Structure formats: C-alpha cells, structure tokens
Structure 1
Amino acid sequence: MGLFNRFSGGLLWLAVIALCSEAALGRILETLNCTQSSVAFNGQCGRALDGNTARNYGRNSCTHTKQQPRPWWQATLKNVSRVKAIRIFNRGDCCAERLNSFTVQVDGRVCAVHKSAKPFDVKKLACNMNGRVVRIVNTGGTILTLCEVQIIGWPVRPPGSCRKAKAQLLIKKLQLAKKQLKRGIRNARTAFTKAAKAIRQQQKKQMPLRRTCEHSVGTFACPKGYTVSIQQAMYGRQSTKFCPRGRLSARTNCAAKKALAIAKSRCRGRQSCQVPARNSIFGDPCPGTFKYLQISYRCVQRPGQVRNRLKAVRRRYRSSKRQLMAQFRAKKIGLKAKIVTEKRRYKRCIGGMSCQGGQSRALKQALAQEQQRHKTALANAQRAKTSELAGVAGKRIVTKPETRTCENHVQSITCPAGYVIKLLSVFYGRKDAASCPHPQIRTIKCQARNAVVKVRAACDGKQSCKLQSSNSVFGDPCPGTYKYMLVRHSCQMTDAKLKAVRAAVDARYRSTVARLGKQHLAKTGPKLHPAAAAEHRKPATTAGLDYGSSETKAPKSKAKRSPVRQGEEIAERNREAQCSVANQTSQ
C-alpha cells in the first residue's frame, strides 16, 4: 500500500508539472464560440471546429459565406493563449483556389499571411502570438470556405495556476474516491441480493416421488433444518407396473379418498416420518386388489431458520458498507485538508500576498470585504427577481366581483390591456324579490339552463364584450316574471403579455448584475492596484474587430452563461490581471 501511495503521488506531481509547464509542441486549443461574416448553403461557422477533417462539402464538414468583399471567419478561445500555429484544411471536391490569399489575425493583429497561385490541401502557418480571438480573412476572393481549423498552442496561465491545477487534481481524486465508494456499495448490495435470493430458493426442495407396496412402511426424511411437507398422496392402485401381484393387481382404478389428509397428519412439522401402507390406516378402496402408497413431498425450511440466515447475510452487507464508508471518510479528510491548503496558497497569490512581496493585512481584508459585499448584492438581485416573478404569477388571473343586470338591459364587461375575459358563471332568472324589483313577479325560483354556455362564445378570449339580459338570448324560464342576469368573470393575462413582463423583469435583473459587476471591478481594480489601472482603461481586445456583418454562433455558444456567473468571471479576470501586473513590476 505504501508503494502504491508513493507511485500515485509521483504520478500526481508529474501531472502538475505537465500542467504548469508550457509544452514546446503545443496542443489544439479549446474554443468558446465562433462567428463569420455571413452564411450560405447552411455552411455554419461551427463546422470548422467540429473535429471532422473531411474535405468534401457534401459531408457537412465545411463552412461557406456569401459572396462579399473580404469575407472572414472568427473563433474565440476559451482562455488567453499562446497561438503557436494554425492548421487549415482546404476544400477538396472543388473551389480550392478560394484560399490562395488570406491572412490570420490574433486579437486584430496579423500573425500570418498566405499568398500563392497554387491551391493547397492542408496548410500549417506559424503564428507565435498571444491572444484570444483568432480571425481568418480572405483577401483574394469573395467567398470563404474552411473545412477544418485547428488552433495550436497553449493557454497563458496566470500566477498561481500551478497551485490551482494541483487543487483541481486533488478534487478529481476525491471525486474518484466517491465513485469507488458508490461502486463498492453497489457491489456489496448486489452480493447481498444474490445471497438472499439463493436462501429463498433453497427454502423449498422438491423430493422424488416415493412408492410403498401394501403391508410395508414408507419412510420420508429431509435434511437438517427442513420439515416434510406432503404435496400429493394416493393409496390404492393406478397402474400395473408398480408392486405387481398377478391377478391381485389387475384392477387399476381405485384410490382411498382421505389418503392426503392422513399422510399430512403423520408428517406435519417433522424432519422425518413413517407412513405404513395398510388398509387399517387408509381403508380398503378396492377389496381383493394388491395396493401401494404413492407420496410426493417437499422439504421446507423452518421460518425461523430462514430469518436467521437472512439476518446474517444482511449483517455482513451492513458491515461491508460501514467499512467502505470509514475508508472513504479517512481518505476524504486527508484530501480535503490538502485541497484547502492548495486553495489558500492560490488565493494568496491572486490576492497579491506573494506576487508583490507581501501586502498589508488591511488591504487583503478590504478585498475580502468587497468580494463578500458583491456576492451579497448579486444574491439580493436574484431574490428580487424571484419575488417579482412570483408577483407576476399572482396577477395572472384577476377575479372580478359579481354584477347584476335587469331584464332588457345590456351589461358591458371590460378587462385591462393585456388581459382577456373568462366567464366563470352566468345566471338568468330570479332568486329573490329584492333584486331588480318589478310589479310582474310570479315566482322567485326560476333559472335558465346552460346560461353560461349560451354566451361564452361572445366573451371568452376577448378584452371586452357586451351581454344582453333578455329572453331572446337565454329563453324564458318563467313566463310573466321580470328577471335579471348575474355574471361572474375573471381577467386572465395573455401569453404575450406574460412573456413581455417576464422579459422586462429579466432585463432589469441583467442590467443590475452588469452594474454591480462594473462597480465591483472599479473597487477591486484601480483602487487596490494602481499599477493595474492602465490595464483596465485599455479597450477590449475584440474592439475594432466587428465589421458590422452578420454573426452566426457555433452550436456550443447556445448555452448562455448566467449573469451571476458573468459577474464572478469579471472579478476573477480582474484578480488575475492584478497578479500579472504585479509580477511584471517585480521582474
């Protein structure tokens, strides 16, 4: 075990060294999204990053732009990286001359130029430039087609990334330990299930059929821990093959009626029993015929013994589970302590404690307080958004009070903008004499049937409508009586209105998060690190790269990051800039 730990520890350090060192050969860098100047024939920009190096457009592997001057394709890397080279796969089925002249740019700066009269199949161009946005511009044609683009290099790691990489490896090791724990518990559970199933299957054993000739005694026995259970019993004769006695065995259609009950009474609850094959016990079902006793039985375990065996198996399963949990807890405690140590060392560098020869404790505390304040503000914004959305859901349906309209009058029903009418109940007739008083009242108990059905089409789904209280609409439920109409309705918010309200809430929330992110960046950047102020005032790297053309995102860019995550990333990038500026100053 000690040798294995030393071996695994050596592998861990080798992995950390590999992560922290810049490989001379580089690797294919990961991208977040891509864009291009236009799209034609469904040639999306993501086809150049899908890993499919087929050079035939019919295999859905190549991009395609519309015919336009200086078409371009652009990809955004996951991190700021050292772009060492670009490998481009040209179209092979036709039109390869479209890439006879093009340039490669990194963050708006030209790093490679290709110009040739002869088309190529696969071209690798050296770049050796730091940046995040890689663009290919066709300078000699009007259509750009790329079958695959491989950006080769390595990420430019910020200070403290080695500590962060080691902490990430330790976290992966902890996750692996969790998987091993789940696998061990699952295997123990499977073994327990199989053992319990085997015990239940052994609970009953079918024994061979036994026959005993007349005047003999049949013995029926079971192993230790089992009892005899008689299934079938026959005393008489059913065949001439068994216990033959010449003419005495010629009759084959006789059997004692109570043979099964007698056999069961002699063997119930016993490990072994004897049943004599005699007329004195079973009676004589066929006088003058030599008979035999035929019994089929099973050996059944005692219930208490089955329970004890199942309990023993369950105890072994629980003991194995406890042992696995104890091993995992011990490993978890050790790994978590190491993870906390590495994260603490990483935060020291990000906070400037080891980047600039040590900073004051007050400055470190101010940064921590600002980070906590920013997290609290983001959480409050999220809670406000949730509360506002809950209030919108509560106002989606507004029930109005009941209205009364006397006979031969018209009632107008109106809902606010963005709401439609939903009739809940309609009554036409008379319930009392006080409502809509009139000299012609013969009865106060009359009502038109299906009144709501008759007028629902006139109002449901509309913002306003008019209902006439008359016999021509509802019929006359009580002739000679002056009637009235009672209407209950609700105003329901339309889907378009609900979508617009939710969009407005989401827009306010995003605006708040962006504002908080800018405030946090301003407080943790120039004020805490004056040397980084010039870095923050620089324009964005991608500024000036927007040519006003249409943009087509790769499939990966559809999963948008949340505003909270965006705010956290802004703060993280600011801290990394602080460390990098401090390192440059110290050097």
Structure 2
Amino acid sequence: MNFVSLMCIIGLAGFTIATEDNYVCEHETFHIKCAVGQMISVSSAVYGRQKSNVCTNGPNPQTNNCAAVNSLKLVQDQCEGRETCDIQASNGVFQDPCVGTFKYLEIVYSCKDYVCEHDTLHLECAVGQTISVSSALYGRQKSNVCTNGPNPQTNNCAAVNSLKLVQDQCEGHETCDIQASNGVFGDPCVGTFKYLEIEYSCEDAEIDDDSYVCEHETFQLKCAVGQTISVSSALYGRQTPNVCSTNGPIETNNCAAVDSLTRVQEQCEGKKHVTSRQAMVYLVIHV
C-alpha cells in the first residue's frame, strides 16, 4: 500500500498465497490444507528418491534416481481443487519405482483463492504491502470446483485475457475486488458454470527516494497547470523499517494515526500547490 497516494486530476478534479515445498517419508501421510476459500493447486509431485539427504531414517537406499511415473497425476487426481487433502506415501498408492530403497513423497503446491461465477473475489494484503498477481483463470479446468451450478459442458476452457484483466485491476493495490463474470472476462465456454481462480502474493510496497519526508521535514505537493491534488490514502506513523531509518530512534514499525487521511485531505485536496510542514514519523506520497 502507498502510505499516502496522490493523484493530480486534469480539469475540475472531477483508486496467499504461500507456496509449500514439503515431503513425508515412506509409510507416512502427506496432509495438505488451504485456508477457507482457497483450493489446492499441485505443480509437481515425486514419489521415489532423488535426494540422498531426505528421509535418512530408513535402510540405506539402493539408488537416488527413481520416481514413480504417475506421481503428479495421482496427487492431482486426489488433491487438485480441494481445500484439504491427505495422501499416503506408499507403494500401495504409487506402486514401487525402486524396490529395496526407502522412498519419500515430495509435493510442491500452492493455495489459490477462488470464487464461483457471479461471486466477487476479494484480495487483501497487510498495510505496507501490495498485491502481485502470478496467475489467474476465469473458466473451468477442474470438475470438482464450483459444483453448485448446472452440469458443465466442458472442463477445458479459460478466458485468454484472465491474467491481464486481474493484473490491470489489482496489481499494486493493497486490496482489490473483482467479479467472476462474463461481463468482466467475456464467456470462454457458453453454457458452462465457471469460476475465477487467482494466485497472488503480498509484496512490500516500493518507496521511491523522493516520495516521502521524515519527521520535521517539509513536504511540497505540486500539480501541473490545469491539475489539482486528489489524495486517496495517507498514513501518519511508521510501518516500513527502511524509511527514515537513520534519522532517529525506532521503537515500532506498526503505528498509524487514524485521522491521517482526513488531515491530509483537509489541507491539500483540490489545491494546485501545497507546502506542508508536519510533525510525523514520516510521510510517503506518490504523485
């Protein structure tokens, strides 16, 4: 989030996914769990042995180069699109790719946010962070997601502009709401009940060297001729450790005055030029 965000309006002034990489040893159960409103997306899976330093509590391995060829498909079939999943690392599930070798199951997966067609997906990051969208799909590619609508005609459709539309609307914002609808994405498969899935992360907001002032300094806001200041957000306090870090003592990086936005808007909104001296920990402005 930009701690203070400023736009110059032309004319009369007329806005988790965390990816897990884990393993369990042979005979153990791999438990995957996403938060409510998220679904599992498996990117890779290996049952066998490809590392010598994993699961060393069994008999000496005969090889470090074996993998069940159906590892990924079996895990995806059992876990993809679900909120939780348990899968056993055993020869009974995957068959035995290397007899006599103590094996393990390694799965790389992410938890994707999703909503069914006609619903709205809400993305949110913590204060001081912004949304970074890595993947998005509006359509249908899984049969076990959003089964509360009419029977799908296909499980292989996606709006080609899914990622771009979500990035255009959400990238760089602290929060974002986007509707899963044909009106937003177009209809990639007429007659099929669709869903919107998004994978995103929250990244620390970048702050330019000239976009803030420290306590006791003066901040000058200025728009070009024919433009006026419009303040959409403001923070008075400290929530980023690397801003104004050498100017004075820091006891916390989690404080903000609740009236930050109101005070800045009262002093600056609608004006062409403002020179403001504020007593604050720091003030960040993006023009």
Task: State whether TM-score is above 0.5.
Answer: no
More strand by percentage: 2
Under TM normalisation by the shorter chain, which class is it?
Answer: 0.3 to 0.5
Higher RCO structure (Cα 8 Å, ≥6 apart): 2
Could you state the TM-score of these two structures normalised by the residue count of structure 1? 0.19
More helix by percentage: 1
Look at both structures and tell me which one has the larger radius of gyration over its CA atoms: 1
Could you state the TM-score of these two structures normalised by the residue count of structure 2? 0.37
